[in-house]
A and B are shown apart, each in its own frame.
Chain A
Amino acid sequence: MDRFHEKDISGCGIIGIMEQSGKRFSGRDIITSIASMRERANGLGGGFAAYGIYPEFKRDWCFHMMFENKSAMVQTEEYIRDNYKIVKDEIIPTKEDKSIKYRPLLWRYFLQPKEEKKKLHYDITEEDFVAKTVIEINTRISGAFVASSGKNMGVFKGVGYPEDIGRFYRLEEYEAYIWTAHGRFPTNTVGWWGGAHPFGLLDWSVIHNGEISSYGINKRFLLNYGYVCAFFTDTEVITYLFDLLVRKHKLSFEVAADILTAPFWDDIERQSEEKREISQALRIIYGSALVNGPFSVIVANTNTMVGLNDRIKLRPLVAATSGNKLYIASEESAIREVCPTPDEVWMPKAGEPVIGRLKGKNG
């Protein structure tokens, strides 16, 4: 814990832009937008998630890796080679930026799991196999970190202001249909490359402003399902909760939101009988997945982008649409920076998700 700075008045900044038609656009806008919220960050973390950036490898699992040293890379590659066919691997292209002083070795791998290895794990799905790999690397190999592990998507993050990180990774050269960005003001954990947001697992990415006071309960709940929270970050917990509820338990985002930001018992009392029964059941079954504390998050996967606030609105969140584009951000001005005249601008209600869906897909 060596990077504590004097406390500034600040809070993280988040923004997500989704083109719901699936049309891809360059990373220029998201950099401009997050740069306008520079005050919300303090240079100790910035990052981006981008969906649709590797169409030529869209069937392969893409691992964005950070290695602190060469031996971490050697160990990781050995582990990967054991379990996967490496379709392609290369250094993640970057551009020198004088504000970014330290950088780990950044490498990406396009992978296909080996059938015979998958079979060793009785009835495991391919997703579970990949998730297991990610958690193994993150917890077992010192100095190695999987920043993202989805298909046709990637997380680009590091220690620095987000706009510098974005230029460093040359994001204006990529095209995606969902971009999310985060400017970090670390409060509870140190600013390090892996700890920057977004947090990624499979095709999930999560960016987050705030803190989760239910961290301990959520972490223990997740452990029952094989999720090991290794990084002491709130973002990790939220990512695993969405993975569990939406991917594994096949719940809709609306229901997932009703679990994470469940209505108060008082409000449940006033619901219609039908709704009340559902709400009560969810609170009983998933009580330990309730997320408390002040937060606003943007969660994305291949087909969806979701913005969500805590139940009593302790962090800012604004949404807007323009044609097929959905914007969700900490500040309205961050949206207007790249979309001066949106069709609609609104403040989502606390605990009610704003959901963007890829046209023709059920998110």
Chain B
Amino acid sequence: MKKESKVFRINARGLYYKELNEKVHQAVNSGTEELVLDNVNGQRYIGDGLAGDVKITINGVPGNDLAVFMDGPTIVVNSNAQDGIGNTMNAGKIVVHGDVGDIAGHSMRGGKIYIRGSAGYRTGIHMKSYKDLYPVIIIGGTVRDFLGEYMAGGLIVVLGLNRERSQRSTVHSPQKKIKGYGLPTMDYRLVGNYCGTGMHGGTMYIRGDIEDYQLGKEVKKFRLNDEDDKMLGKYLKEYCACFSLDFKEVMDTDFVKLIPHTHRPYGRLYAY
């Protein structure tokens, strides 16, 4: 019999990352199912290796490698996040209401990363699926170069919402009252260059078009088939619910599908 779980709050102001993460682990180990971390700023590795059905809400900007090795919990970030979120994550969900830095989902092999804003360079680098694990990254805004570099499995979706916002946007919606939760340079381009370089597994759906020169040598562009639509719809519905977006509106634009045309791009590199 489960007891009704209480929300456990931690004031992270001035806490060294080790201290904060110990407190989080202690709380989870003693049965807390919902945590709120206030005044977080730059503490690394929050949610590291954490397992179980736990929800952690982060107010403030968490430090690098958020949810590294995480195995189950849900983390909601009400602002921007830094580099390396979901690094080698196994299961669970990260919801970011702002933007994220570089290498989001680095080597991730399961779970979901839903980003309302934009993402930096090398998003989804080395991500892979494993048995029944299937990692998914959805980016609401735009992404920079090297999206899905060396990608081996899983799904990346780029929506390019709010691109009308200029290169440098000011205030991003989810927390209007809080000044400065901006999208870092909103790139007017949906996806950067070298997209899918070294990709040999997995799928990307891009809402809008992408020029051939932007693609890595290993990737080809296709139209979505019924199965793709089903797959996209399944995750996008959940994504839209996270951010109160209108699913139909988001689906209103055509997507392209990117998949590798060989699963062994370097197979012949050293073979004579």
Chain A residues engaging chain B, CB cutoff 8 angstroms: 36-37, 39, 266-267, 270, 312-313, 316, 318-320, 322, 331-334, 336-337, 340-350
Contacts and interface: CB of A to CB of B under 8 A. Distances in A.
Nearest to A320: B180
Contacts of A347: 99, 101, 120, 144, 184-185
A345 B184 contact: yes
A349 B82 CA distance: 15
Contacts of A37: 42
A345 B175 CA distance: 14
Contacts of A336: 41-42, 60-61
Given A313-B102, A332-B82, A332-B101, A342 B180 contact: yes
B255 interface: no
B201 interface: no
21 contacts: A36-B41, A36-B42, A266-B213, A313-B102, A313-B122, A313-B145, A316-B82, A316-B83, A316-B101, A316-B102, A332-B82, A333-B63, A336-B61, A343-B180, A344-B169, A345-B80, A345-B181, A345-B184, A347-B99, A348-B185, A349-B187
B145 A337 contact: no
B235 to A, nearest CB: 25
Contacts of B99: 347
B21 interface: no
B180 A345 contact: yes
B170 interface: yes
A346 B42 contact: no
Contacts of A267: 193
A275 to B, nearest CB: 17
A350 B144 CA distance: 9
A343 B61 contact: no
Given A313-B145, A345-B80, A333 B41 contact: yes
B41 A312 contact: no
Contacts of A348: 185
Most chain B Cβ neighbours within 10 Å, of A37, A267, A312, A344: A344
Given A37-B42, A319-B184, 9 more contacts: A39-B44, A316-B82, A337-B41, A342-B180, A343-B182, A344-B180, A346-B168, A346-B182, A346-B184
A35 B80 CA distance: 21
Contacts of A345: 80, 180-182, 184
B134 interface: no
Nearest to B39: A340
Given A316-B101, A334-B42, A344 B146 contact: no
B243 interface: no
Contacts of A334: 42
A210 to B, nearest CB: 14
Contacts of A320: 180
A350 B121 contact: yes
Most chain A Cβ neighbours within 10 Å, of B102, B183, B184: B184
Contacts of B120: 313, 347
Interface string B113-157: 000000011100000000000000000000011100000000000
